[in-house]
A and B are shown apart, each in its own frame.
Chain A
Amino acid sequence: MRFVVVVFPGSNCDHDAWYATSRNLGHEAQYLWHHDTDLKGSDCVILPGGFSYGDYLRCGAIAKFSPIMAAVKRFAADGGLVFGICNGFQILTECGLLPGVLVRNRGLRFICKDVLLTAATRNSPFTNEIPAGAKMRMPIAHGEGCYTADERTLDELEADDRIAFRYVENPNGSMRDIAGVLSAGRNVLGMMPHPERATEPLVGSTDGLAVFRSLVSACSAAK
């Protein structure tokens, strides 16, 4: 499977995503620069964590205007797999590929710690390999991760089975404990926790691998 990792000025988990997919998962991964417009035949585009364009104005607000995002939007519209982690999730909500918005954490402080998550649905290319009910341990590291949307949107997300992940103990005040959501087409996922930072025993957890393995399954099933 072929992953591409988009590098915006200020991305800083680009290397983590690249290392997780190429070394720990054992698939192909390459970087794309924010000025690129060709996705190089990618099976999955990863928008990594970090502070794209300094997160000036609002997190992810400037990244949505970058040249590569136009290509990513077309790719998503054609059913391509797009995976936004942390700042990548913020970018996806800013550019309208996912509903809702990420606001300052409850408590107004940056939080870095391991959290437990559950997959709220197995019906997606990102979660199909995750055992039902399994609690997955992985780090969060964000200042603006409080998922917020109006009640109607939240009801719709639940009705359409588009909540991908929920926190076991809500660390940041996210509505309905939401840690990750899917697009209507189920091919775009945004999540605040970092599965790419939980892909080998040395760093404390391998639970994040299940997310990437789900992508591999979905991709090979589609081919």
Chain B
Amino acid sequence: MSEVTPEVVQAHQLTPDEYERIVGILGREPNLTELGIFSVMWSEHCSYKSSRLHLKKLPTKGPRVVCGPGENAGILDIGDDWCIAFKIESHNHPSFIEPFQGAATGVGGILRDIFTMGARPIAVMDALRFGPLDDPQNGARNQRIVSGVVEGIAHYGNCFGVPTVGGECVFEPSYNGNPLVNVFALGIFKRDQIFYGQATGTGNPVIYVGAKTGRDGIHGASMASAEFTEESKQKRPNVQVGDPFMEKLLMEACIEAMATGAVSGIQDMGAAGLTCSTCEMGSRGGTGIEIDLALVPQRETGMTPYEIMLSESQERMLLVAHAGREKEVLDVFSKWGLDAVIVGRVNDDGKMRVRNHGVIVAEIPSRELADEAPLYNRPYTTPLRTVPMEAPAFQSKGLRDDLLTLAASGDLCDKSWIWQQYDYTVRTNTIAGPGLDAAIVRIKETGTSIAMSLDGNGRQCYLDPRLGAKLLVAECCRNLACVGATPIGTTNNLNFGNPERPEIMAQLVEAIEGIAEACEFFDAPITGGNVSLYNETLGDPIFPSPVLGVVGTVATGLPPGIAYRAAGRDLVLIGGVGTADEVRMGGTQYAKQVLHQMWGLPPQIDLAFEKRVQDAVRQIVNAGLAETAHDVSQGGLAWALAEGTFQNGIGAAIELDSDLPPELLLFHEGPSRVVVSTVNLPHVTAICAAAGVPAPVIGQTGSARLTIANRGETLIQVSVSEVRQIWSTALESALHTETHA
């Protein structure tokens, strides 16, 4: 494969039109190396060519936004001269092909995005979606994927020394052939320590640092931009291998080198490796970069320019130093025992010029390559859905048993088997760790802590992508309110199927518009993120699965937990029992786990009311009036109440007053509701009254039982230890279920 033929172009997943565009930009036919470079930069993964048009609808500005989308990570000002950098990234396709390394390098990639900007990573979270562990066909494989992914995340994050402080894990048949591994990372730095990925200053040296370049991961970005077929299983060599120890050294060395003042710009080599970093740095700086590949440290002999430029070997960075001060940079890397080699210079003609032993092997205008990827306004119709709108007739066979069914379900059961494999306490900043509504990491240098919530809800988004997405933003913000935090920004990971199908494109467009509306409303602008498309196997798409990470600030202190701390506390349902009907039950956990059906629509949401609820909760929490605060979400009110009982074994007696049928009253998932336990009822009630938010007292904590009644009729009575036992053992036993291979 050395001549550029139509077949070769097609093998690079470039269309004839795209090829013509390349010829137009170059004014000639590209050679094979150049074709490879264009193919990765113009892949869906790197260019966002199907989504860019719609991503522009997202709100990206705000008083705290220092750097919005387009850089390696978004940056927000958190006051006192301190900033945070944060972003989410997917490693879905690699994690399916090779779960351990796929997930591990996903962590590595997002950590580099953070420290390449100068920030020290202080927290990681992960949102995981797998096929069911007891799936008759795929259960055994799903079990292996779960174990591998969790081990991979643990391996990389633990060794690197960043706490994994939270996340979520969901099981759905739609992820059988397409697990989703989305990793969020957040770092901190001072405002004057920010570095950008740009090459400026003609003649400045370009320095390659970190691991040597090998043949691994070639065309990873293109792989991540295609559907899975049977042949994909042959793509294992496309998955990179991570070395967290190398990354730890690289991070320490980069931060130390940046502190010398000799670094002018820096960018990690992630997707599309050396290609992406050279052209993007040139493009952002309005310059070009010239490098000689013969100088690039190589792990293998005989690598071609094509291979070197497209390798996705991990733990590598490209940096531009101020001319004359390169030795200061090289010395730091030498101290940390890392390769650091001057491989080229910044030029002023805007061309990315790649030589091999002096001979030019590629010459491409940086800006056109990086920023003028084709932009598609792909046709969209109405979002794909194949489930009925109408609700089936359903009546519970036993509400208590229904609750136990939820406790045993993969989505709601105890996930400590997963998160106990992650070091969540390293760096001694974790005030609220995994298993809570939101994680909190304090910043030692100031009195501020960062709260973060990571969430997705593919089921509700499948029923109505726009409404589902709004609900998702609202839930993340509500999670922050429960720990007293105010949302300040958002990162999103848009996981969807094949955008060339109009009904899938419609899911993407509607979800983006829903996110845009809600993020705008909650003053939580989007500062960056990731789009992962083509999540289909053999034509079967995943549920539309946007995952949001919302961050907020809160004064450093101990937040209320979710576990009831003592008997005799008043339980207040801030927001009230809410409204529900049968149609809007179709996306709930009750429908999924108990009825094994899906229909209808997600719950309705009134954003203005939601905001009033959140403001009231935040005020109550920050005034120290809540002993516990926990939002009602998946599993509904009954499940939210049950979750409060587990840790301390303290139950509750609940007496409701509602017209709703019991199944709806207990298990509907309407938003804008938070359960608070308090010893200071009058104060809590007064705050809610002032906010115009209903806040019925629904019962008291106490005893070792959970009892829920409505207007005198007992609906559920169950011992706390029984629910707890089922909840806490479900995941581990499901991971050891015998299924067909």
Residues of A bordering B, CB below 8 Å: 9-10, 12-13, 15-16, 19-20, 23, 49-51, 53-56, 109-113, 139, 141, 143, 194, 196-197, 199-203
Contacts A110-B154, A110-B158, A197-B428; A10 near B245 (Cβ below 8 A): yes
Q: Among the listed B151, B428, B557, which residue makes an inter-chain contact with A20, where contact means beta carbons less than 8 Å apart? A: B428
Find out whether the CB atom of A54 lies under 8 angstroms from the CB atom of B423. no
Q: Among the listed A16, A53, A110, which residue makes an inter-chain contact with B428, where contact means beta carbons less than 8 Å apart? A: A16
Measured between beta carbons, the chain A residues less than 8 angstroms from B558 are 201-202
| B215 close to A (CB within 8 Å) | no
* Min CB–CB distance A42 → chain B (angstroms): 22
Measured between beta carbons, the chain B residues less than 8 angstroms from A23 are 444
Find out whether the CB atom of B425 lies under 8 angstroms from the CB atom of A50. no
Find out whether the CB atom of B249 lies under 8 angstroms from the CB atom of A10. yes
* Min CB–CB distance B185 → chain A (angstroms): 15
Measured between beta carbons, the chain B residues less than 8 angstroms from A139 are 425
Number of B interface residues at 8 Å Cβ cutoff, please give it.
Answer: 34
Find out whether the CB atom of A16 lies under 8 angstroms from the CB atom of B431. no
Flag B141-159 by CB within 8 Å of A: 1 or 0 each.
0000000000100110011
Residues of B bordering A, CB below 8 Å: 151, 154-155, 158-161, 243-246, 248-249, 336-337, 416, 419-431, 442, 444, 556-558
> Interface majority SS on A: helix, strand, loop or mixed?
mixed
Residue of A nearest to B336 (CB): A9
Find out whether the CB atom of B423 lies under 8 angstroms from the CB atom of A109. no
Find out whether the CB atom of A194 lies under 8 angstroms from the CB atom of B425. yes
Find out whether the CB atom of B421 lies under 8 angstroms from the CB atom of A203. no
Measured between beta carbons, the chain A residues less than 8 angstroms from B155 are 110
CA distance A143 to B420 in the complex (A): 11
CA distance A102 to B257 in the complex (A): 36
Find out whether the CB atom of B161 lies under 8 angstroms from the CB atom of A12. yes
Find out whether the CB atom of A141 lies under 8 angstroms from the CB atom of B428. no
Find out whether the CB atom of A16 lies under 8 angstroms from the CB atom of B427. yes
CA distance A10 to B249 in the complex (A): 7
Find out whether the CB atom of B159 lies under 8 angstroms from the CB atom of A112. no
CA distance A194 to B428 in the complex (A): 10
Measured between beta carbons, the chain A residues less than 8 angstroms from B246 are 54
Find out whether the CB atom of A112 lies under 8 angstroms from the CB atom of B425. yes
Measured between beta carbons, the chain A residues less than 8 angstroms from B416 are 113
* Min CB–CB distance B731 → chain A (angstroms): 13
Find out whether the CB atom of A12 lies under 8 angstroms from the CB atom of B248. yes
Find out whether the CB atom of B336 lies under 8 angstroms from the CB atom of A202. no
Measured between beta carbons, the chain B residues less than 8 angstroms from A141 are 158, 423, 425-426
Measured between beta carbons, the chain B residues less than 8 angstroms from A201 are 558
* Min CB–CB distance A220 → chain B (angstroms): 26
Contacts A10-B248, A10-B249, A202-B556; A54 near B424 (Cβ below 8 A): no
| 27 A-B residue pairs with CB within 8 Å | A9-B248, A9-B336, A10-B248, A13-B426, A15-B427, A51-B158, A51-B159, A51-B161, A51-B244, A51-B248, A53-B245, A54-B159, A54-B244, A55-B159, A55-B245, A109-B151, A109-B420, A110-B422, A110-B423, A112-B158, A112-B421, A139-B425, A141-B423, A141-B426, A197-B428, A201-B558, A202-B431
Find out whether the CB atom of A9 lies under 8 angstroms from the CB atom of B249. yes
Find out whether the CB atom of B428 lies under 8 angstroms from the CB atom of A112. no
CA distance A10 to B154 in the complex (A): 16
Measured between beta carbons, the chain A residues less than 8 angstroms from B244 are 51, 54
CA distance A177 to B161 in the complex (A): 27
CA distance A141 to B430 in the complex (A): 14
Contacts A112-B420, A203-B430; A51 near B245 (Cβ below 8 A): yes
Find out whether the CB atom of B422 lies under 8 angstroms from the CB atom of A112. yes
Measured between beta carbons, the chain A residues less than 8 angstroms from B154 are 110
Residue of B nearest to A14 (CB): B161
CA distance A40 to B556 in the complex (A): 35
Find out whether the CB atom of A196 lies under 8 angstroms from the CB atom of B428. yes
